[in-house]
Amino acid sequence: MYIGEVSERTGFTRDTIRFYEKKGLIKLDPRSRYPNNYKKYNESVVRRLLMIRELKEYGFTLNEIKSILEEREKDGLDCESGQVKVQEKIARIDQKIAKLRDTRRRLLISLEDCPENCWVEKNWK
């Protein structure tokens, strides 16, 4: 199938598919490239792109996704190592939530001080 059909089936734009290929997230058999620069994609590329989509929806970065896919290809990603990656992701999310809560708290405090001790006037003049 050509890139247009892959795009329709996965929901990724053609540019995104090309970008993922350039970054090594998807790989094409060299024989799937034609002299006119057309490429034929097989079903395994579609499955891989759908897996990438799902991992992105879980909040994994492209670098994390690439690492997961490479580990899966190299050694086979088992349940235990998969759980470790998910636990690490949860820990990073928890850190971000804590940071956002702190930022929110500080902003609320700055509002309480207004207008007598306006943080904006004090810091942004």
Q: Within 10 Å of residue 49's Cβ, how many Cβ atoms?
A: 22
Q: Which fold has domain 1-60?
A: Multidrug-efflux Transporter Regulator; Chain: A; Domain 2 (1.10.1660)
Question: Tokens for 8?
Answer: 């329709």
* Model pLDDT for residues 70-94, shown as the tens digit of each residue: 888 887 778 888 899 899 999 999 9
The residues near 24 (Cβ < 8 Å, ≥ 6 apart) are: 66
Q: Do the Cβ atoms of 110 and 119 come closer than 8 Å?
A: yes
Q: Do the Cβ atoms of 2 and 41 come closer than 8 Å?
A: yes
* Model pLDDT for residues 39-69, shown as the tens digit of each residue: 899 999 999 999 999 999 999 999 999 989 9
Helix, coil or strand: residue 112: helix
> Nearest CA to 68 among 122, 56, 103?
56
CA–CA gap between residue 15 and residue 90 (Å, rounded): 30
* Listed range (10-24, 50-64, 83-97, 103-117) with the worst mean pLDDT: 103-117
Query: Can you give the pLDDT at residue 125?
Result: 63
> Taking the model in full, what pTM does it have?
0.75
Helix, coil or strand: residue 13: coil
The pLDDT-based confidence of 116 (bands split at 50, 70, 90) is confident
Q: Where are the domains of the chain?
A: 1-60, 78-125
